Structure 1
Amino acid sequence: RVRCGRSLEGYPFNPCLTEEQYKEMEQKVSSTLSGLEGELKGTFYPLTGMSKEVQQKLIDDHFLFKEGDRFLQAANACRFWPTGRGIYHNENKTFLVWCNEEDHLRIISMQMGGDLGEVYRRLVTAVNEIEKRIPFSHNDRLGFLTFCPTNLGTTVRASVHIKVPK
């Protein structure tokens, strides 16, 4: 699994967003993602008004993010929950985007097996396609700007999950 966070240019970080800005960003993100093609083509699921069936399916797939933990709540990053939040995933369930969880966007590429190069390639392709349509916040010295300062720069994080035999 490889992921990165992105903030949309022209919007404040999570704690300072208004309810209208959350809604506006969700609309902008969902319409952008609906234009993706090929292996990135998928469906956007808004958290507001989500049916129990869809919610359970996303929980079963381990895709659904929950309202922020105590740290995000203490930072006031969960205002107007679940307004303006959503999840997108492709048909193969190897590409996801979380809208307005901790960051404006959390872009995730993952798959079973050991082909980390393929996972990274998909992430880079997705980020480039999204950035063609929505500009990201960037600083020449700090790199990509995110809500949590530990994610500044490339914002890329990679992890590998392995099954250890008993």
Structure 2
Amino acid sequence: MMSIRETVNSAKSGWMKADSPAGDIVVSSRVRVARNINGFSFPHLLEQEKAEQVIHGIQTALDNSNLKTELELNRMTELSPVERQILVEKHLISPDLLHNHEKKAVTLRDDEAISVMVNEEDHLRIQCLLPGLQLEKAWELVNRVDDGLESTLDYAFSERYGYLTACPTNAGTGMRASVMLHLPGLVLINQIKAVINAVSKLGFAVRGLYGEGTEAHGNLFQISNQVTMGHAEEEIINSLNSVTGQLLAQEREARKVLIRERREQLEDRVGRSYGILKFCHVISSEETMRRLSDVRLGVDLSLINGVNPDQLTELIVKTQPAYLLKQHGGELSPAQRDVLRAEIIRKEFNREG
């Protein structure tokens, strides 16, 4: 079993594979369910001793299930602040798991497809993150882990309200399903605001790269369901698949318009970004995201050859602050970060493949 130490030492993750269903536009699919254990307060009210009991109970449930060979529980205290932040930057845990980390734990599968957050907003947040558009498969994997744990754990459940959660908006199925989409075409033809408004009216939330409260840097948008009560899991998945299908069609049409009507400007844009990433010596995080988005679009439209799209997604993580600190082995000023970031990008763009 791969250790969590290996996970935080590598920027790569299984969800970064562009060679996946609709991988030219859908970066990843995620399904997460929230569960709580009967007889315990929600995590924000848990004292340390009770939090320990929850962690111990989940460890026992893992040991008693067929999951024990693939999922290992790690306390957040076993990781340094930088290593904890890297797990956030890789989308394997939420930022909320960093607060009061003494009471919290996480379990990860070797391929990083499955993570279980313990004592985040709820006692259990079971997450599956897969590359491309694979919501059904993600739900299937989450459901298997959920069933394995429920065979030992007594979940808080109401016949009327479904699974009980710390935030009422998660009650019912406790499910949040989301897709991460790369939508530069819609941004460049100035259609993105209209599309986001339409999606929001259908009951879906639109957020940035790191979820709630974050901007859509690099033209990456996270679309997720808002309602969990009164809808079956399959219904939530089907609705999100349907909306995603519409967005895929609109983005592909936008890209055709750009090629047909603005090819020279588009080639110039992606070529300039490619040149900057290949030769830069100082670059900010925001500019990195913008340039990576341009190059990814160029790769998808065959305007740029010889660049692996997986490499571009990996660079999103490699150029985040915590990963840079880990690489450097100590504190970095913002100016030093911009220099190290550029060095990492240059190396990636000047190696074969």
Compare 21-30 and 44-53 and name the one that shifted more: 44-53
Q: Which residue of 1 aligns with 2:130?
A: 111
1:160 to 179, 183, 187: 179
CA deviation profile, 1:46-66 (whole Å, cap 9, x unmatched): 112424675365245232433
For structure 1, list consecutive stretches of 5 or more residues without a partner in the other structure.
Answer: 70-77
Q: Quote the Cα distance in structure 2 between the aligned partners of 1:68 and 1:32.
A: 21
Residue 162 of structure 2 is aligned to residue 143 of structure 1: yes
Structure 1 Cα separation of the partners of residues 172 and 164 of structure 2 = 7
Give unpaired runs (5+ residues) of structure 2. Answer: 1-29, 185-293, 295-353
**1:85 alignment partner AA:** K
- Tell me which residue corresponds to 1:14: 43
How many Å separate the matches in 2 of 1:60 and 1:31?
A: 29
Aligned partners of 2:58, 2:154: CA distance in 1, in Å?
11
Q: CA offset at residue 109 of structure 1? A: 1.1
Q: Deviations over 1:108-166 (max 9, x none)?
A: 11200222211111111111111001110001111100100111111111101122344
Contact 1:45 1:87 in 2 (8 A): yes
Aligned pairs for 1:1-150 (under 5 A) are: 1-34=30-63, 36-37=65-66, 41-51=70-80, 54-55=83-84, 57-67=86-96, 81-150=100-169
1:72-93 CA distances to partner (integer Å, 9 max, x unpaired)?
Answer: xxxxxx6xx2222011111111
If the length of structure 2 is used for normalisation, what is the TM-score?
Answer: 0.40
For 2:126, the aligned partner's letter is I
Q: Secondary structure at the match of 1:162?
A: strand
Paired AA for residue 83 in structure 1: E
Whole-angstrom distance in 1 between the partners of 2:128 and 2:163:
18
Aligned to 1:74: none
In the alignment, the residues of structure 1 paired with residue 80 and residue 63 of structure 2 have an alpha-carbon distance, to the nearest angstrom, of 20
The residue matched to 2:95 in structure 1 has which SS? coil
Q: Is the 8 A contact 1:24 1:84 kept in 2?
A: no
Aligned in 2, Cα 1:158/1:11: closer, same or farther, shift over 3 Å?
A: same
CA contact 1:40–1:126 (8 Å) conserved in 2: no
- Change in CA separation of 1:106 and 1:66 when aligned onto 2, cut-off 3 Å: same
Amino acid at match of 1:46: R
Distance 1:68 1:123, change over 3 A: closer
* C-alpha RMSD of the superposition: 2.6
SS at 1:83 equivalent: helix
Identity of aligned residues (%): 26
The change in CA–CA distance for 1:38 and 1:21 in structure 2 (over 3 A counts) is: closer
Offset, 1:35? 5.1
Q: Which has the higher contact order (CA 8 A, sep 6+)?
A: 1
- Secondary structure in 2 matching 1:5: strand
Q: TM-score, normalised by structure 1?
A: 0.81
Size of the aligned set, in residue pairs, is: 156
The question of whether the paired residues in 1 share the 8 Å contact of 2:117 and 2:125 is answered with yes
Instruction: Pick the structure with greater CA Rg.
Output: 2
